[in-house]
Amino acid sequence: GLGGCGALGGIVPGLLDGGRVDTVGAVEFDRALAVPPLDEGRLDASGTRVFDLTAQTGTTEFQSGAQTPTWGFNSSYLGPTLVADRGEKVRVDVRNELPEATTVHWHGMHLPAAMDGGPHQPIAPDTTWSPTWTIDQPAATLWYHPHPHGRTEAHVARGLAGLFLVRDPEEAALALPRNYGVDDIPLIVQDKRFTSDGAFDDGTRGFVGALGDTLLVNGTLGPYLDVTSEAVRLRLLNASTARTYDFEFADDRTVQLIASDGGLLDAPVPATRIRLSPGERAEIVVRFVPGETTTLRSTPPDLGTEPEVASRNGGADRFDVLQLRAAASLTPAASAPDAPARLTTIERLRESDVTARRTITLDGFAIDDDVMQMDRIDQVVELGATELWTVRNEMQLPHNFHVHDVQFQVLSVGGAPPPPELGGWKDTVYLPPDTEVRLIMRFDDYADPDAPYMYHCHLLWHEDQGMMGQFVVVEPGQGAGTIEGTGHDH
């Protein structure tokens, strides 16, 4: 049920019913889509690829004549798109010029827990944090954002978020669009509400958190994209704090889904609707004919028959997202008709290899009946383990579930095999109301009994309320005995 939890204070009843948002046909598309600058960093003398990120305050003019107080990395809103190759050693010098402590978490990255940028790696104002690690995972669209305990929603909503693209030779050899800003375009989608003087209004929340009535894509309000190629790769990131989108094109065209959170799918999946809950990514290839115009939209997610359940996610809301305008002549696509028939071969994790099983319950805006405590370790995982996590959403509300350090595979959703779009590597998965998912994951490379990783609902207000737990990875045989904490192993 909704659970008798004090966390419900502050919810505005009017947001639960009525008040439907519908911007379809009402958006003017009069601003060119901004594309975050690509940042390849620099190589230092030892061959480490070094990036500089400064979290800073500023103002941004989303609407003509209105200055919105915002935060950003190296700019007033959002941050550069970092890019590095698999196998490279990287370092990011993150300077905090905000008036309060923050952190920067590398969402989807496999890396040591002390470099992860969760709540245990705070960056005090006017200091610099310099995590370093070696990238060892397939080409993927990852992202970075703050993760300070209890303040994640506020920091992300003000604009602190950016993409981190991993490249590898296997992906580079495929005939796919990859000319950044030309035929390979990131779309960072966020819903906002503005006050009459142009500030972000984040004071009103429904059950899932703050739902906006206006979309920003890469920080652009009412964006259009001039398409110059027959095939365009769109890297969609739902960087909203609470809202789940079902993306589709106004003309119902079929696109090719080529990658999910952790990288390429085995083969393209033809799709007309792409569902992304907060934190999830999808890469799609869209085909154009010269001179045409189409619109990317978000239509209400189908959450089943209960309208009141749907309304808790702003379920009836529709948005125009982006207008795409194809030029009269287009650069030919590298691959015909859409994308290569084979993309990669994903190593399947097998249930027969599972060494530990856990059951994790989301209810009452808590996990397993507890809200997150910085000094409590909830799960102890042995290095090298293959684990099966059964995650149950017991509420009449949508949630999602994100695990740090690993990419997992979805074994089932509500008892059924996952749909093909969930057939690849994932780090965040949508959990419809009253549903159970089974996830399989392997914990390689990094053990540190003193530095926890997080698992949590990525609806950021829920996360901030404590819908989050901590796990440590330890050397085999160094299980619970060495760890301080209550231990929630099931």
Q: Judged by CB under 5 A, which of 149, 155, 399, 426 binds Cu ion?
A: 399
**For residue 476, with 0-12 CB atoms within 10 Å meaning exposed, 13-18 middle and 19 or more buried, which class applies?**
exposed
* Residues 454/149, Cβ–Cβ less than 8 Å: no
State the minimum distance, in angstroms, from the CB of residue 464 to ligand C2O: 11
Q: Is residue 462 a contact point for Cu ion (CB under 5 A)?
A: yes
State the minimum distance, in angstroms, from the CB of residue 16 to ligand C2O: 26
By beta-carbon proximity to Cu ion, the closer residue of 404 and 462 is 462
Only segment of 254-262, 351-359, 378-386, 454-462 that touches ligand C2O (CB under 6 A): 454-462
Neighbours of 331 (CB within 10 A): 15
Q: Which pair of structure tokens corresponds to residue 176?
A: 């796919």
State the minimum distance, in angstroms, from the CB of residue 417 to Cu ion: 24
Dist CA 232 CA 218 (whole Å): 17
Q: Is residue 279 a contact point for ligand C2O (CB under 6 A)?
A: yes
Q: Which pair of structure tokens corresponds to residue 298?
A: 């978000």
Window 47-86: contact mask with ligand C2O (x via CB under 6 A): ----------------------------------------
Q: Is residue 110 a contact point for ligand C2O (CB under 6 A)?
A: no
Nearest C-alpha neighbor of 70 from the set 216, 280, 237 = 216
Residues in CB range of 454: below 8 A, 6 or more apart: 116, 118, 119, 147, 402, 404, 468, 469, 470, 471
Q: Judged by CB under 5 A, which of 242, 391, 459, 468 binds Cu ion?
A: 459
Count residues near ligand C2O (CB under 6 A).
10
* Residues 106/142, Cβ–Cβ less than 8 Å: yes
By beta-carbon proximity to Cu ion, the closer residue of 276 and 459 is 459
* Residues 229/333, Cβ–Cβ less than 8 Å: yes
By beta-carbon proximity to ligand C2O, the closer residue of 103 and 229 is 103
State the minimum distance, in angstroms, from the CB of residue 149 to ligand C2O: 11
Q: Judged by CB under 6 A, which of 120, 192, 399, 404 binds ligand C2O?
A: 404
* Residues 109/191, Cβ–Cβ less than 8 Å: no
Identify residue 439 by its one-letter amino acid code: L
Dist CA 414 CA 433 (whole Å): 10
Helix (H) or strand (E) holding 463: helix 460-465
- Binding to ligand C2O (CB under 6 A) within 129-148 occurs at 145, 147
Q: Judged by CB under 6 A, which of 110, 358, 402, 442 binds ligand C2O?
A: 402
- Binding to Cu ion (CB under 5 A) within 188-227 occurs at none
Instruction: Name the site residues for ligand C2O (rule: CB under 6 A).
Output: 105, 107, 145, 147, 279, 402, 404, 454, 456, 458
